[in-house]
Amino acid sequence: MKAIEVKHLTFSYDGRVNAVDDISFTVEQGEVFGFLGPSGAGKSTTIKLLTRLLVPKANRVFVLGQDMAKADYRFMRRIGIAFENDVLYPELTGFENLYYHAKLYGIGKQEIEEVMKMLDILDARDKPASQYSKGMKTRLVLARALVTKPQILFLDEPTSGMDPDIASYVRKVLKELNKNGTTLFVTTHDMHEAEQLCDRIAFFSSGKIVAVDTPESYKKRYGESRILFQVGSDSLQIDRKDKEELLKLIKQDQWDSIHSQEATLEDIFIKVVGRGLKEGDEL
């Protein structure tokens, strides 16, 4: 059974422009599958469609074999959803925010505390959510998604707004969960996040999947490595394959240092998709 199966999924908010435009893909159980794309590409809309927060016109989404159009609350326990700008009750403490969700599923205090500990927010257990920093709020939303011990986690920009140390801690937690069998579906506009977390990455732009592959395979297929010669404050980049030019420059012996430069996932995204990952990054 596939973890996720999507067939020709399309969605429009206004009936004119498709925010998600005829996408099809499958995610295997135990996989970390990422959607990498710029702001406005339709990543959040896709997650909402996968988790039935938005309902597509036709039944095109299957999660763990379940037709999502017919999923009831018992099934929803098997999936966890964490959105970037998810709603928390600001007046309630972190613990209470989790408690009201967990209670729906008969989950007790101990399990809530375990998940708060795992995400390093147990010390803030009794603070109102309004007093949490942005990174702590994101972890609280993640804790709420995890409290039912879901088989699949849907994560929209999971480390957005976190400082780098906390982001790397959260990625470690997510990897650990995945090692123990949880399938992850992640959206991000951060190529490092995609590369560090994902087994396969879909390049996503203007509502469409442009390519799907593993990070290694993208690099093998599209990455050109270059050699950088530094001469004082100037630098010169040469294609690694241009052996003749490389040898000539080395022999001229006028360089201060030589570095090899691998193509980044963002370089490859630009090459394949025709635009970058940041706003206004059109080619």
Chain positions contacting ligand ATP, by CB under 6 A:
13, 19, 37, 39-45, 189
Q: What is the closest distance, in whole angstroms, from the C-beta atom of residue 26 to ligand ATP in the complex?
A: 21
Which CB sits closer to ligand ATP, 86 or 114?
A: 86
Burial class from Cβ neighbours inside 10 Å (0-12, 13-18, 19+) for residue 8 reads exposed
CA pair distance 27, 52, nearest whole angstrom: 17
Which CB sits closer to ligand ATP, 61 or 98?
A: 61
Which CB sits closer to ligand ATP, 16 or 179?
A: 16
Q: What is the closest distance, in whole angstroms, from the C-beta atom of residue 31 to ligand ATP in the complex?
A: 21
Residue 140 contacts residue 121 (beta carbons within 8 Å): yes
Distances (CA, A) of 201 to 4, 193, 195, 263, 271: 14, 11, 8, 16, 15
Which CB sits closer to ligand ATP, 45 or 159?
A: 45
Which CB sits closer to ligand ATP, 86 or 111?
A: 86
CA pair distance 39, 49, nearest whole angstrom: 17
187 DSSP β-pair partners: 35, 156
Q: What is the closest distance, in whole angstroms, from the C-beta atom of residue 42 to ligand ATP in the complex?
A: 4
Distances (CA, A) of 176 to 36, 115, 133, 142, 179: 21, 13, 24, 14, 5
